[in-house]
Amino acid sequence: MPHPALSIVIPFHNVEPFLQTCLESLRAQTFSDFEVVMVDDASTDGSAIVADRFASYDSRFRVVSSEKVGVGVARNIGVQNSTGDLLAFVDADDYVPEYAYQLMTDTLASTGSDFVAGNARRFDSVSVWQSWSHRRPFVTTRMATHCSRTHILGIDRYIWNKVYRRDFWDSAGLSYPDMLYEDYPVALAAHIRARQVDVLADPVYYWRHRDGGEASITQSHWNLDNLGDRVRSAEMLFAMVDEHAPYLSDLVKSHLTATDVQVLARSIEDHPADEAGRIFDLAARYLSHIDEAILNRQGPFERLVFDLLKRRQRDALTTLTRYRAEHGTQAPLARRKDGWYAKLPSFEDAAVGAPDSVFRLAPAYMKAKAVATEAWWSGSRVEVRVNIGINTLALAPRTRFKVWLESPTGARVPVDHVTRPRAIPFGQVDRSTLELSIDPARLAGDRQWRLMIDIRNRDVRDVIQVTTSGDGRERWQGWRRIGNRWCRPGRLPGGFGITVRDLPDAWVDHATDLGDEIEIRGAFRGTPPASAELTLTGRGGSVVTHPLTIGERGDRGITPWRVTVPVEAVLEKSGLDMPMEEIVPTRVKMIRKGRTSPLPVHPDFLGSRSLMKGRAVNATRDPNGSFVLTATPDRPVVHDAWWQGEDLVLRGPDGPRLESTGAVLRTWPTPEKLLDVSLDVADRDGVFLVTVPVGRLRSTAVEHGACETTRWSLLDGRDHKPIVVARELCERVPQPAADEAAKLEFGWSDEIHLRLAPVTPSEA
């Protein structure tokens, strides 16, 4: 009997609530030539029953039983019992999108690389978001690369987002150590020993964050044995890069030090004195591998942690941990002749004896940063809100700013601004807020204009480019026609600015729901092509082409075109059974005259929404203003919002449905405890109105021990699934006022969150 092309190894131990979903995601893969080796690591709940049931009705699934050996050894057992030419690993509480293994195996077949790795998302019961650990290594697709050339792959620390060639796995001598945090040494060794690897920006794995009940291994990092394995894993990595990849040494050690040492320090408070001594021993082992230059690059808070760990100052570390829980890592500042010092706990405390150099702010640490947080249209002008700050240094009252837009040729256009310092209580990030007003009519056409700021006071003189957060959640408003040109605020390469373009030669101006089909209409400017087509590309890489019907050229040189796309064709690419609420995009591009390019949407464009099989297919725009088709769960949609006194009112269609289910705001005061606040929902002629009482939310948060500035998720009251915002209509959502009581935020998949603003001292 021929062996399968791919072996997927899944160790499991007491994951009954999640295992069914995980295995279903594998059974739904579009790539079907695989086996799933499920290693039962002595489960005592119903996990084995779930695994046996799958094995009974799908011969590709089989169970291997084991004594309790731990996840690493269980993976080794799975490898030993596998037969495929390719090898993959999955954690039993996670989820694999249906296209993942087709995409990865096709990639390996085309490149001949030793393994392929893809991006990952995190998800919980409410939201999906980009995995922070995977953000930098997987920002760009790269074929046939290696960590010696692409150094950032040195922090790619997980093994479940990959497919390995089995002959490479065996020849490289890869296996898992008998410990926790077993995957990073294996992942890094594979990167170093490979000839070449492929890196995919598309997500191929969904990593669960358990937001209730038993925590996962990565969420249980205070356990003493867990801490010991964490240090052992790091030591294995340090030895590996020092011996085999010195070009990665600084990157890997800096990356780990920024997280692991802080975990060791914060665990001190949770252990009695005798166990605290073991933690100090672990910290000493860890820090002995780290060069002073790496430690000195950290900020004052981190350097104080290193110093207190080295000198085994348990009481001072406990005080610092409690300080962090209340204030974060920020501190008031003291100015001396030789610079600024952070007045953290133990500052100038002779009994603790921390040297003054620990608290000093290095010049490099005082680099100014500016981040655009909102941009919206007000008539024909663009309004932009920018947060500007210098790490822990509060901006002086006499700080002066000059703001301008700069073209690639160096031309400058001044920008009007007003400074609004925010009265934020100590413990929050202390920044000044600039509110800018930009007249795009002053900008020369068909180019990108970067937003620049010159900041000057007694301590800082710097010229900086305004950036964006880069987390993918910004909602910049779309194109607007100014005279004969189109303008749009948003992300530019390396920062934020205004894109100005002459009327494009093709665009989308309308989309209509026809039931089973979506009609897309647009226009060409100038001489139209003899033929053109739209390509639809799903995450799995499959492409479908739809020819355009091109009309007659009009008197003003504008030629209409149209095309119809079956809704089913979009849903086939969308992962219908995904348990999380995520937007699944289908990229749309136009091919004409041998060119392939995205399609901008007309400034007056309104999208369409088609419903089928419990999903919504949206013809809308992406954050860059280009046309896109997305598949999402069919959720209530907010089209408009406004403040009514201290209450926030949200409005959307389909009032009867939401009125029947109700709505709640949910937060998590602790990982084990959720907190719901029911909201009033009214149906007014088929339109829902949800009223959010911000004052009651704040008092409820305090009463139940939640953070004052906690983030609340807006959910329907029956299924507790997210209520979303219509992306193409988010311009109607109110921009926050300078004295905002709360702020709406939109997540990765347009889910709606409410963030309470801190109460300033004058309000308390």
DSSP state of 156: -
Task: Look at residue 461 and tell me if it is in a domain.
Answer: yes
* pLDDT value of position 211: 67
In this structure, is residue 762 part of a structural domain?
A: no
Are 205 and 249 found together in one domain? no
Residues 6+ apart with CB under 8 A from 447: 407, 408, 500
Structure-block tokens of residue 644:
């009514």
Q: Which residues of 243-269 are buried (b: 16+ CB within 10 A; e: fewer)?
A: eebeebbbbbbbbbbeebbbebbbbbb
Buried b (16+ CB within 10 A) or exposed e, 640-653: bbebeeeebbbbbe
Residue 121's DSSP bridge partners are 130, 206
Q: Give the CA distances from residue 76 to residues 47, 184, 205, 396, 402, in Å, rounded to whole numbers and listed in that order.
A: 20, 15, 21, 59, 60
Amino acid in the structure at residue 694:
V
DSSP code for 705? T
CA 296 → CA 316, 357, 361, 407, distances in Å? Answer: 20, 10, 11, 38
Domain-embedded: residue 427: no
Whether residue 347 lies inside any domain: the answer is yes
The model's pTM: 0.83
Provide the CA 97 distance to its chain's centre, in angstroms. 17
Considering the domain architecture, whether residues 642 and 629 belong to the same structural domain is answered as: no
* Domain enclosing residue 285, as ranges: 221-365
User: Do 458 and 578 fall into the same domain?
Assistant: no
Residues 186 and 328 placed together within one structural domain of the fold: no
Q: How far is CA 415 from CA 368, 373, 384, 517, in A?
A: 19, 17, 11, 46
Pull the structure tokens for residue 75. 């993976």
State the angle between helix axes of 314-327 and 249-267 in degrees (0 to 180), rounded to the nearest 10: 100
Same domain, 82 and 191: yes
Non-local CB neighbours of 600 within 8 Å, separated by 6+ positions: 479, 486, 501, 504, 507, 508, 625, 626, 627
Give residues with Cβ within 8 angstroms of 116, minimum separation 6. Answer: 104, 107, 108, 162, 163, 197, 198, 199, 200
Same domain, 454 and 548: no
Pair (355, 398) in one structural domain:
no
Q: What span, in angstroms and rounded, lies between the C-alpha atoms of 582 and 115?
A: 27
Residue positions counted in the chain: 764
3-state secondary structure 625-658: CEEEEEEEECCCEECEEEEECCEEEEEEECHHHH
Rounded Cα–Cα distance for residues 91 and 93 (Å): 6
Cβ 470 vs Cβ 487: under 8 Å: no
Same domain, 538 and 470: no
Q: Which residues pair with 691 in a beta bridge?
A: 649, 680
Please name the amino acid found at residue 550.
I
CA pair distance 754, 730, nearest whole angstrom = 15
- Amino acid code (one letter) for 320: L
Show the tokens assigned to 158. 């997980």
Interatomic CA distance for residues 496 and 62, integer angstroms: 52
Which DSSP string corresponds to 418-446?
A: EEEE--PPBTB---EEEEEEE-GGGSPSS
Pairing of strands 34-41, 6-12: parallel
Q: Are residues 477 and 450 in the same domain?
A: yes
* Residue 552 near residue 524 (C-beta atoms within 8 A): no
Beta strand segments in 48-196, E:
61-66, 86-89, 115-123, 128-130, 142-145, 162-165
| Residue 549, in any domain of the structure | yes
Angle, CA 369 vertex, CA 366 and CA 374 arms, to 5°: 155
CA distance linking residue 451 with residue 496, whole number of Å: 6
Answer yes or no: do 162 and 241 share one domain. Answer: no
Domain boundary among 337, 365, 393: 365
Q: Return all residues near 554 (Cβ < 8 A) that are at least 6 apart.
A: 560
Residues 6+ apart with CB under 8 A from 671: 210, 211, 212, 215, 219
Type and span of the H or E element at 569 = helix 567-571
Say if 76 falls within a structural domain.
yes
Q: Which of 469, 500, 531 is the last residue of a domain?
A: 500
Between CA 256 and CA 237 the distance in angstroms is 10
Q: Which of 594, 615, 633 is the last residue of a domain?
A: 633
The DSSP result for 301-362, as a single string, is: HHHHHHHHHHTT-HHHHHHHHHHHHHHTT---EEEETTEEEE--TTTT-TTT---GGGTBPP
Output the CA torsion sign for 700, 701, 702, 708.
negative
CA distance 66 to 77: 8
> What's 384's domain CATH number?
2.60.40
**Residues 38, 161: one domain?**
yes
CB proximity list for 668: less than 8 A, separation 6 or greater:
211, 212, 674, 675, 706
pLDDT at 519: 95
Strand ordering across the sheet containing 369-378 = 369-378, 381-389, 432-438, 416-421
Query: Which residue, chain included where needed, has tokens 């801490």?
Result: 227
Co-location of 583 and 708 in the same domain: no
Q: Is residue 428 part of a domain?
A: no
Nearest Cα neighbor of 279 from 289, 291, 266, 296 is 266
Distance of CA 14 to the CA centre of its chain: 28
The two structure tokens encoding residue 557: 């040189």
468 is written with which tokens?
A: 């964006």
Cβ–Cβ < 8 Å for 635, 724: yes
pLDDT, averaged per 10 consecutive residues of the chain (764 residues), comes to: 90 93 92 96 93 94 93 95 97 92 95 97 84 90 96 95 98 93 94 97 90 48 78 94 95 90 86 84 92 87 93 92 82 83 92 92 80 84 85 69 92 85 44 83 88 85 85 68 86 88 89 93 92 86 88 90 90 59 83 90 86 86 83 87 85 88 89 86 92 88 80 90 78 56 78 76 40
| Nearest of 407, 460, 413, 462 to residue 441 by alpha carbon | 413
Count of domains observed in the chain: 5
Q: Are 375 and 442 in contact (CB under 8 A)?
A: no
Proportion of the chain in helix, strand, coil states, percent, rounded to 5:
25, 35, 35
How many angstroms separate the first and last alpha carbons of the chain? 74
